[in-house]
Amino acid sequence: MNEIIRRSGLIVPAAVLAVGVIAGGYLLGNGLVRAHHADRSVTVRGLAERNVTADLAVWTLNYSEAGTGLATVQTKIERDTDTIRRFFTALGFPPEALSPAGAGVSQNFVNGIQTVTINQRLQLRTTDIARARRAVARQFDLVREGVVLQEGSGISYSFTRLNDIKPPMVAAATRDARAAAEQFAKDSDTEVGGIKSATQGYFSVEARDGEQSGYGVADTPFKKVRVVTTIDFYLR
């Protein structure tokens, strides 16, 4: 009888231990499954683009005159400067839109004869993009009046309000990325969860459709802003 009782006493703890091992194994296995599912994710990219128009135009005009006497060349370069200012005034630009942007004088002696060259720069800075484009289209009026425009006399257009459109563009890129993730989830019979990690790419501002703003001018006021985001979504 005592032997039976002793064996019964051993059977009960053993049974409890066996149940514990089984339950522990199940919970551990289930936990691993949950961890595996929690770790599943898909990395996609989202794109957002927006067409904008530049709000700042900067046109630097390089011009020069040369001659055998400094006083004579100075008179010529002053005449050119007056011609340029009248040109922009006639187009409706205020005087303060133009400002000096540098000057230089060089002297050379050839066969004992001194040659003086004066280079000068004036810069137009304006937010009136339409008027700036009209001015560029008529730049050869200056050439016809004797102003010798040098290489580098180009206009550049800038879009300065990038910070105003960044938030909605990032949101649009995120929606585009989620749409790609949802398509992947549909194909793999899963569902898209929250964002695991995200990286915002650089914003780029480029000329739209390769347009040009005028003869010999490579820039354009019509821009395309672009951003690409990389997002890692959980799958469940």
pLDDT 10s digits, 93-119:
999 999 999 899 998 887 778 899 999
Contact indicator for 121, 61 with CB cutoff of 8 Å: yes
What does the alpha-carbon distance between residue 79 and residue 62 come to, in Å, rounded to a whole number?
Answer: 14
Band the pLDDT of 218: cuts 50, 70, 90: low
Instruction: Point out which residues pair with 46 in neighbouring strands.
Output: 229
Q: Token pair of 232, please?
A: 């890692």
Which is more confidently placed, 109 or 73?
73
The token pair that represents 156 in the structure block? 């550049």
Q: Report how far residue 45's alpha carbon sits from residue 106's, in angstroms, rounded to the nearest whole number.
A: 55
Structural tokens at position 16: 């409890």
Residue 139 CB neighbours (<10 A): 19
CA distances to 120, 122, 153 from 149, in Å: 10, 11, 7
Percent of the chain with pLDDT over 70: 79
Of 45, 46, 48, the C-alpha closest to 226 is 48
How far is Cα 217 from Cα 139, in angstroms, rounded to an integer?
A: 11
Q: How does strand 56-67 pair with strand 113-126?
A: antiparallel
3-class secondary structure, 38:
helix
pLDDT value of residue 108: 86
Question: Across residues 22-26, what is the average pLDDT?
Answer: 42
